Amino acid sequence: MSEYIPEGETRVESGVTLEEELREPSMYRVILHNDDFTTMDFVVMVLMEIFRKTAEEAESIMLAVHEKGRGVCGVYPKEIAEFRVGQVLRRANEAGFPLLCTMEKE
């Protein structure tokens, strides 16, 4: 015999309460860090291709990286942030640049 579950509720057998299950995912900032070797053009290209920034947005973020030492590329759920960081690091490595990309919880 199956257990009655009222509409709109779910049965949680994992020990996670319904409130925890419905909570918004934590968000993470993806950050590019300045170095003395990665070209500005490469940073702009990464921002446009990986983060889908317009040329103007990419230029603005690149200047923040250059002038302030770091720039925020975007804010994403954890899995997407990890994926984007990995894309940047792979692309930089392939191009021979030491560009550092990290993520931090918002």
- In order of their start, the domains of the chain are 36-105 (3.30.1390.10)
Using alpha carbons only, what angle is made at residue 105 by residues 99 and 106, rounded to the nearest 5 degrees? 110
pLDDT of residue 13: 61
Q: What is the pLDDT of residues 58-104, one digit of tens each?
A: 999 999 999 999 999 999 999 999 999 999 999 999 999 999 999 99
Does residue 16 or residue 90 have the better pLDDT? 90
Residue 50: closest CA among 102, 91, 78, 79: 91
pLDDT of residue 105: 98
Residue 34: closest CA among 103, 83, 90, 101: 101
pLDDT of residue 17: 72
The pTM assigned to this predicted structure is 0.79
